[in-house]
Structure 1
Amino acid sequence: MDPQHKPTRALIVIRLSRLTDETTSPERQLEACERFCAARGWEVVGVAEDLDVSAGTTSPFERPSLSQWIGDGKDNPGRIGEFDTVVFYRVDRLVRRVRHLHDVIAWSERFDVNMVSATESHFDLSTTIGALIAQLVASFAEMELEGISQRATSAHRHNVQLGKFVGGSPPFGYMPEETPDGWRLVHDPDVVPIILEVVDRVLEGEPLRRITDDLNARGATTARDLVKQRKGKETEGHKWHSNVLKRRLMSPAMLGYALRREPLTDSKGKPKLSAKGAKLYGPEEIVRGPDGLPVQRAEPILPKPLFDRVVAELEARELQKEPTKRINSMLLRVLYCGVCGQPVYRAKGQGGRSDRYRCRSIQDGANCGNPSVLTYELDDLVEESILVLMGDSERLAHVWNPGEDNASELAEVEARLADRTGLIGVGAYKAGTPQRATLDTLIEADAKLYERLKAATPRPAGWTWEPTGETFAEWWAALDTGARNVYLRNMGVRVTYDKRPVPEQVSAGEKPRVHLELGEVRKMAEQVAVTGTIGTLTRNYTRLGEIGITHVDIDAGSGKAVFVTKSGERFELPLNIPEE
């Protein structure tokens, strides 16, 4: 060999999507490429091996090993200058997208690097015809990729229909477990106890935000961090969030159902992509079998009646009104200024002075003129007003009633009757035999049961109010400040005050004039069996709105409740009305 002529330096490229693919194993690719280089007298200067890497989703410039040699196609040139030719087993080992091939050809022309296939004689970018044929080959490779993708999607859906776990992130509360029949989902022993605890607390009326605050304070590990722990990876200290927890508790995955999310497509049927090029998917859908029933792929974490209760409870809540743990005043986000309508804030007392509620307009530099009011003074006034109205009434509890539906039992009795009547006159069941007498007795009993079940009226499931044996005042006394605030806000209570002096009633101006909207008070009354003062005001409390009363003004100075009608008519009643 002429010492002035240096041999061509070759970089061998090896890629595999799945390590189990024996037809194009790394060893086979390397052997063919080395044999090809040896036949041409080329010097192999390196091997770029990327395993478990898809050419459909990553370009050559994005692969961990290959990009170190050829760069990123932009600013980083990699190790250009150390090789003259890139050799690969077959074009689909290099690219599977035509646009990726365009990028590679442009790169090879820019740096004067040849691209050669060890098994496809037509693929040699050093010739014009080779570059043209390469484009055609890449087009077929992309078509094959689409075929593979469709076959994979079809297989994925088939396995989901069979209830198998097909990879990806397991649903909340589950973990994958390998069985002789393949991978299945089983209960996560670290997460399910937390789910059951949360469900109990939710059904007892505790706000989700307070529950997640408690889980975080206890250091309860989230499902995301548990997955990392089991893989031996460092956790990231993820926190529990009320909105995420709510969405997971309401997911049919709690029932062990198989779920899927279909990719979103545009008007031409093409997948919609995010700004980063990832496919966009629609909402979760329950996978249903040929019979139309949900596909059950795991044991339920929550039985259906309990799941329905949780969903009904969470749907009925107004989470945006739940305070954070920083709320330490009963009337924050309940009390508003009666002059300008802005919310109040709590001002800490200095030098031994008591805390006060102040209109937020003071902070904005546009004081509306409504003086501050002592926190305990307004808290006590609102509390006293509510207890005078409702304290003697028995509190009702919101209880889930699973209902009664005897359809399955009715069908079972009907089937049993058909079987037994079919035996009449056959064999040992002929008239006059002991067996026939026993059969007649059984048929008669089933017939009576069938008529009784058929006559029964099914009762649908739903929430009902049931007495607790506890008065509203007793229940209220057991609540802390935060719980009272949660109750008032969830009930939609809105209180306004005006403490500006009243010229004609100077003494009355020393105390705030408080306003409660009647509609909100009526909502509170739905949770009690009306007796006491409410019962005295009206034996049918909900009729107050129907007869034209729009709101109630509570005058702290006179100790009276002033009822105002739509027409503006006002009439007064003392707050301490005796029971008739």
Structure 2
Amino acid sequence: MNVSHKSLRALIVVRLSRLTDESTSPERQREACEQLCESRGWNVVGVAEDLDVSAGTTSPFQRPTLSQWIGDNGTDPGRAGEFDVLVFYRVDRLVRRVRHLGQMLAWSERYHVNMVSATESHFDLSTPIGRVIAQLVASFAEMELEAISDRIASAYQHNRQLGKWTGGAQLPWGYLPRETEDGWRLFPDAEAVPVIHEVAERVLAGEPLRAVSHDLNERNIPTAKDRMNAHQGRALKGYQWTSGGLKRSMTSPTMLGYATKREPLRDAHGNIVRDSRERKQYGPEEILRGRDGSPVQRAEPILTREVFDRVGVELADRENRKEPTKRTSALLLRVIYCDVCGRPAYQLKGGQGRSARYRCASAQYKSTCGNGTVVKSTLDELVESTVLDLLGSSERMSRVWEAGEDHAAELADLDVTLTDLAGQIGLGVYRAGTPQRVVLDARITELSHRRDELAAITTQPAGWAWKPTGETFADWWEQQSVQEKNIYLRSMGVAVRFDKRDELKVHLELGELYRMAGEVKAAGSIAAATDLFDSLAENGIAGVEISNGKAVFTSKAGDRVEFPLRSVKV
């Protein structure tokens, strides 16, 4: 590339990342570049300054300011016609990856733009040897970056093992950093902790996470990101709560004060997986462990182990259930389905003089299944009356957590810890023969002895139990909202299928009948039904289906026998 040093137009490139010390501050970089341009008689036409941008993960074409001058893809000339030379303090201010330098060399050759270092006289692209030297310089810059990254990673891991807050990652909800004599530590956030306790109580009471997150947003409760912004005096961004984000926060081990980590993902060859912007991709959150395999306790717990486990179990139980939104007004949403095409049915609000109805979802398509609509109240009343006929007179039971007697809670914690530690055997640094394995084995032995001591005196383990409430199921049902009734029907697997192509035909499936019976002190119809089904099972009958005033009994061999039912009318 033959370019004269006289009367050239120069674009100065300035970059600063968190890895850079004050010796290459933006002011120092710019001053050195301006001195070079002045000594060679070049006219400075602009400065592309990108601060807090890492050259290790960001190519020149991805930087906010520089990309406005050179384009964003390596084949776009950008504003190349407005300058003849790129001037930078040192090559590592432009690139830190050899492949990024290759992209810049190709771009400069294509659009006849020279690149000059203000402090490295050997960096001259006008000669073949200069281009080779430039490649070598970039290689050393990349090696230096890797060395810096390794040193930072080593210090980072050391401080995390000591339970210190090292920054960088997302701040866990419920905690704020504070500098102490021993470095930065996390402490419970007095504003967020009561909210977390409230959310835990609402989850255990059965409230949908969508409703809880909606309420938090309406009350302007800040997320962890905005709490950090407020703590640092920055403007709030207005991040919104979602049911998914709330679930991740409430089930994160950080609620127990544990330090966590996320390991980089690796491909089949062991190389770290990166996205299109060269950013590392990480796996799921894991508990960070000390040398003995125990979790690193980084801060005071916000939730007790008992509550944390209960919340986790409760939310796990909801995985197979689509919870309705706060606006749900249909009792049979995701309970009622078309018996012609199998699609779910939705509420069709009635107009003037017309009742609300259920209709198949295919009605919104050009080609429908031909099923008609059915008056909403007809099927709502059928389902409610059937459920109440079965359960109404039974005493409702409440699921409560019993902490246990004596040392049951500690024993439960030990069981969790021992299971946890045993799972580390043979993994990573805990392979046989390593110092960490010796410490792990000693820790397991110590905890096992303690467990044996407690097991000898424990009389009642902690766990869930069903307790009478003194309230009939019918009374409880009457107090529930449409949304809460809908949740119950879904969780019990109740399903309704209808066919209105001619006369109305309805199939009602009660789903988890034994689970229904297990949540009440069974009396009346539900007790008789479960006794009947037990007897049927003993006699080879696999199931019973109620359909249009008749009961169809199916044997394990597939035989079907029908009986009329006078009490069920549609």
TM-score by length of 2: 0.77
Partner SS state of residue 321, structure 1: coil
Amino acid paired to 1:222? T
The 8 Å contact of residues 399 and 464 in structure 1, kept in 2 or not, is answered as yes
Does 2:530 correspond to 1:535? no
Partner of 2:262: 261
Question: What's 1:524 paired with?
Answer: 516
Structure 1 residues 140 and 523: CA distance shift in structure 2, 3 A:
same
- Aligned partners of 1:63 and 1:27: how far apart in 2? 19
Change (3 A) 1:54 1:338: closer
Q: Which amino acid counterpart does residue 553 of structure 1 have in structure 2?
A: I
User: For the structure 1 residues 402 and 33, does the alpha-carbon distance in structure 2 shift closer, same or farther, using more than 3 Å as the test?
Assistant: same
Provide the C-alpha distance between the structure 2 equivalents of 1:116 and 1:359, rounded to a whole number of angstroms. Answer: 69
User: 3-state DSSP class of the match of 2:195?
Assistant: helix
Unaligned runs of at least 5 residues, structure 2:
412-450
In 2, Cα distance between equivalents of 1:58 and 1:342: 48
Deviation string 1:401-421 (CA, Å, 9 cap, x unpaired) is: 3445738989xxxxxxxxxxx
Structure 1 residues 491, 63: CA separation in 2 closer, same or farther (over 3 Å shift)?
A: closer
**What is the aligned partner in structure 2 of residue 314 from structure 1?**
315
Are residues 1:146 and 2:135 paired?
Answer: no
- Partner residue in 1 for 2:422: none
Aligned-pair CA distance for 1:287: 0.5
SS of the residue aligned with 1:550?
A: strand
Query: Residue 378 and residue 544 in structure 1: after superposition, are their counterparts in 2 closer, same or farther (change >3 A)?
Result: same
Q: Is the 8 A contact 2:492 2:511 kept in 1?
A: no
Q: Residues 321 and 491 of structure 2 are in contact (CA less than 8 Å); yes or no, is this contact kept in structure 1?
A: no
Give the CA deviation at 1:99. 2.3
Between the aligned partners of 1:328 and 1:105, the Cα distance in structure 2 is 63
**Residue in 2 that maps onto 1:251:** 252
Q: 1:170, 1:124 → 2: CA distance?
A: 45
Matched with 2:544 is: 551
Name the CA shift for 1:59/1:455 in 2 (closer, same or farther; >3 Å). Answer: closer
Would the aligned equivalents of 2:175 and 2:186 in 1 still touch at CA under 8 Å? yes
Paired position in structure 1 for 2:162: 162
Partner of 1:123: 123
Give the superposition deviation at 1:298. 1.9
SS at match of 1:170: coil
Question: For residues 291-306 of structure 1, what are the structure 2 equivalents within 5 Å?
Answer: 291-306=292-307
Could you tell me how far apart the structure 2 residues matched to 1:330 and 1:148 are? 61
**Given that residues 385 and 575 in structure 1 are in contact (C-alpha distance below 8 angstroms), is that contact kept between their aligned partners in structure 2?**
no
Q: Deviations over 1:11-59 (max 9, x none)?
A: 6655443487144455655666677677x66557476655443332334
Counterpart residue number, 2:356: 355
Per-residue deviation at 1:570? 4.7
1: distance between equivalents of 2:204 and 2:409? 28
Written as runs of structure 1 = structure 2, the 5 A alignment for 1:196-235 is: 196-228=197-229, 235=236
Match of 2:401 in 1: 400
Q: What residue number does 2:469 align with?
A: 468
Specify whether residues 332 and 546 from structure 1 end up closer, same or farther in structure 2 by C-alpha distance, changes over 3 A only.
Answer: farther
Partner of 1:97: 97
**Any idea what the Cα deviations from partners look like across 1:515-562, whole Å, max 9, x if unmatched?**
433543233112111112333455586565454251242666xxxx74
1:192 counterpart = 2:193: yes
Instruction: Identify if the C-alpha distance between structure 1 residues 144 and 390 changes in structure 2 by more than 3 Å, giving closer, same or farther.
Output: same
Equivalent AA in structure 1 for residue 513 of structure 2: V
Q: Which residue of 2 aligns with 1:568?
A: 560
Contact 1:518 1:551 in 2 (8 A): no
Contact 2:58 2:277 in 1 (8 A): no
Aligned residues: 517
Counterparts of 1:325 and 1:148, CA distance in 2: 51
> For 1:444-494, what per-residue CA distance to the aligned partner results, in whole angstroms no more than 9, with x for missing partners?
xxxxxx999664356544322222221111111111222212211111111
Within 1, Cα distance between the matches of 2:55 and 2:361? Answer: 60
Please report how far the alpha carbon of residue 223 of structure 1 lies from its aligned counterpart in structure 2 after TM superposition. Answer: 3.5
Given that 1:36 and 1:118 are in contact with CA atoms closer than 8 Å, whether structure 2 keeps it comes out as yes
Deviation at 1:120, TM superposition (A): 3.9
Distance in 1 separating the partners of 2:484 and 2:113:
73
Structure 1: distance between partners of 2:42 and 2:348: 81
**8 A contact 2:172–2:224 mirrored in 1:** no
SS of corresponding position for 1:470:
strand
Per the alignment, do residues 551 and 43 of structure 1 end up closer, same or farther by CA in structure 2, a change over 3 Å counting?
Answer: same
Q: CA RMSD in A?
A: 3.9
- State the Cα distance separating 1:378 from its structure 2 match: 3.1
Tell me if the contact between 1:98 and 1:138 (Cα under 8 Å) persists in the aligned partners: yes
Question: Are the structure 2 counterparts of residues 470 and 234 from structure 1 closer, same or farther at C-alpha, using a change threshold of 3 Å?
Answer: same
Instruction: Determine helix, strand or coil for the equivalent of 1:296.
Output: coil
Superposed CA deviations along residues 350-387 of structure 1, whole A, max 9, x for unmatched, are 44344344455666665656x65443333333322222
**Separation in 1, partners of 2:29, 2:352:** 83
Match of 2:124, SS state, is coil
Given that 1:388 and 1:575 are in contact with CA atoms closer than 8 Å, whether structure 2 keeps it comes out as no
Separation (CA, whole Å) in 1 of partners of 2:63 and 2:454: 68
Runs of 5+ consecutive residues of structure 1 not aligned to the other structure = 411-449, 502-508
Partner of 1:377: 378
Equivalent position SS for 1:328: coil
SS of residue in 1 equivalent to 2:560 = coil
* CA distance in structure 2 between the aligned counterparts of 1:127 and 1:472, rounded to whole angstroms: 89
Report the Cα offset of residue 165 of structure 1.
1.7
Q: TM-score, normalised by structure 1?
A: 0.76
Larger displacement relative to structure 2 (182-191 or 19-28)? 19-28
Amino acid at match of 2:279: A
Alignment partner, residue 446 of structure 2: none
In the other structure, the counterpart of 1:478 is 479
Deviation at 1:142, TM superposition (A): 1.4
Q: Which residues of 2 match residues 47-86 of structure 1 at below 5 A?
A: 50-63=50-63, 74-78=75-79, 86=86
